Amino acid sequence: MSILAITSGLYSNAGKTVTMLSEKLNSKLLTDSDILEKTHQIHNIKPQTLQKVIESRPIAFNDFTHEKEKCIALIKRTMSDYVLNDDCLFHGILSHLIPRGITHVMRVLIITDKKTRINHGVKHHGLTEKEAIRDIEQADKYAALWSNSIFGKKAWDESLFDIVIPTDKLDPEDSVNLILKQLEKLLSNKENLIKKEIFDFKLTADVDVALSEIGQGLLAKVDDGNVVVTIDKKVMMLTKFQQNIIKAVEELPGVKSVETKIGHNYYKGNIIHNYEFETPLRVLLVDDEKEFVQTLSERLKMRQFSSEIAYNGQEALDFTDQEDTEVMILDLKMPGIDGFEVLKKIKQTKPNIEVIILTGHGTEKDKKTCMDLGAFAYLQKPADIDLITDTMKQAYEKIAARKAH
């Protein structure tokens, strides 16, 4: 059983080397695109969401939905399923998700200098020099963000790889021979260890999926079915949180024991407000007064409401076109597209979004207009935070009732 994990810089002429290796080893060649597509098919995750994750772009409402963590866990599960059934050659930055504790993985970087990469893009991909530079810089940016998020290191840091192949100095055939020679040494006399490590990888992926339903900042380590989960985040009600972790993990097939421990970033959080209901997960705040709306967002977060911010009407409409939104808190007086127009368009295109008007300039006539257009509630600034959150609670109860039917 062999696992090759190859990372390469865009236009570094890695394609021929990778193809030759796959053929010689009779390994299944899997690119990042293959893994994302399989994850999308199996788990019905939107392709654009998966792409956002590997490009390290922000995911709306992630503090409460944990969508990024779920996506990464499901990608790891897809990879572990492949490893369980085939010899695999992974080509792309997703190969960094293979745990470092798996000792029989050969990690290879195929790279060359930027000038050579630009020339390759021009000569072999029909690009202009400007286009090649743009593509390389964008790809390197995503690779850097990804490796930094996982290891805290640069994309081409040699410590992340067992071997580095400079394509300006080695042709594909020499590169393949060098990699195969190193791989043979790596795999010698490791049959029993390899089986154990593959089992641990598969179980780690399953544990990560279970933990992603609980929250962020949970780090799992698996050794022969024994699971240790490190809590590396702020936590309220630690004992109950630990019980939830143990319950979620111990039900998984293959788990022998579950232990939790505290990480360096753990600290006990203070409960400011405890609602006995499931709070809305996706709230959009729309207001051109930046200081006010940022403060409101922070105060809502302290009360376990996840929110995103739009500073004008057009941003709000663009956001709701791209992201699922349940509740909108909307100011009326804004430059450009005002709150009346936003409310009207939202109710025409996204009628299930409950819109709460929060304005400092409204009149009784404005209130009637908004309610006639379909607003859920009409509040005047300055509104007490408890009044706002109680109104959001009522909006969510309406949403939950609609979903139940």
Helix, strand or coil, per DSSP, at residue 372: helix
What are the residue ranges of helices labelled H in 251-330? 290-302, 313-322
Residues with Cβ < 8 Å from 318, sequence gap 6 or more? 310
Residues with Cβ < 8 Å from 296, sequence gap 6 or more? 285, 287, 307, 329, 385, 388
Helix, strand or coil, per DSSP, at residue 276: coil
Residue 27 near residue 18 (C-beta atoms within 8 A): no
> What confidence score (pLDDT) does residue 257 get?
96
Residue type, 116: T
Residue 215 near residue 56 (C-beta atoms within 8 A): no
Tokens of 261: 């421990």
Q: What is the CA radius of gyration of the chain?
A: 25
Q: What are phi and psi of 107, to 5 degrees?
A: -105, 120
State how beta strands 307-310 and 283-286 pair.
parallel
Instruction: Indicate the angle between helix axes 32-43 and 47-54, nearest 10 degrees.
Output: 140
> What confidence score (pLDDT) does residue 273 get?
42
How many other CB atoms sit within 10 Å of the CB of residue 335? 9
Q: What are phi and psi of 162, to 5 degrees?
A: -80, -30
Q: What is the DSSP letter of 152?
A: S
How far is it, in rounded angstroms, from Cα 10 to Cα 391? 51
Residue 131 near residue 121 (C-beta atoms within 8 A): yes
What are the residue ranges of helices labelled H in 166-237? 172-187, 191-212
State how beta strands 105-111 and 3-8 pair.
parallel
How far is it, in rounded angstroms, from Cα 342 to Cα 377? 15
How many other CB atoms sit within 10 Å of the CB of residue 313? 24
Q: Which domains are delineated in the chain?
A: 3-192 (3.40.50.300), 217-271 (3.30.300), 283-404 (3.40.50.2300)
> What confidence score (pLDDT) does residue 290 get?
92
Q: Which of 262, 268, 255 is nearest to 200 (CA)?
A: 255
List per-block mean pLDDT (blocks of 10 residues) for the chain, which spans 405 residues: 90 95 94 97 93 90 85 95 89 94 90 96 95 97 94 93 95 94 78 83 93 87 93 79 92 94 71 45 90 90 84 94 91 92 95 93 89 94 89 89 80
Residue 261 near residue 231 (C-beta atoms within 8 A): yes
> What confidence score (pLDDT) does residue 322 get?
86
